[in-house]
Amino acid sequence: MTTSAKPTSANSAFSPARAGKLIAGGGTLGIALSLVAHFSSSARSVSGPAGAFVALVFGLIYGVISPGPMGGAALGGALTGAGSAFAGILVGFLIHDEPWMMLVAGSLGGAVAGTIGALIGRLIRSWRRATTDVSLDR
């Protein structure tokens, strides 16, 4: 009895466990950023770009460590970025520093930043593989 479906594994296209770990890390940084911005007016002015940077970096990490195809890495990066941004913005909303609309807009911005980061991470992964797979036995 044969099946045409491919087996799924943790090393295939998208891994919820891998994304979850990175969302937890990015969310922790986002929450810390929101708390620092709450108590520091100078940090408040850069909290938006800093949150997008956190989403970009964690998306980049997902793209580098994801062995699957580009689409799976992009999906993981988007979820990682959106989750990281959402956690930080939710804390900002709960302490009355952010309007409710930022939960949507900021999460979408985090998803875009995470996707861009994941795609850059995939390029880095392919460049690393190309430079380490060079054979000198020609």
CA gap 26, 87 in Å, rounded: 8
Residues 6+ apart with CB under 8 A from 129: none
CA gap 25, 105 in Å, rounded: 21
pLDDT digits (tens, 9 = 90+) for 107-116: 999 999 999 9
Strands (E), 9-137: none
Here the tokens at position 104 are: 């949507």
pLDDT digits (tens, 9 = 90+) for 1-51: 444 444 445 455 678 888 899 999 999 999 999 999 999 988 999 999 999
Residues composing the chain: 138
Residue 57: closest CA among 37, 34, 29: 29
Q: Quick one: pLDDT at residue 31?
A: 95
Which H helix or E strand runs over 34?
Answer: helix 16-39
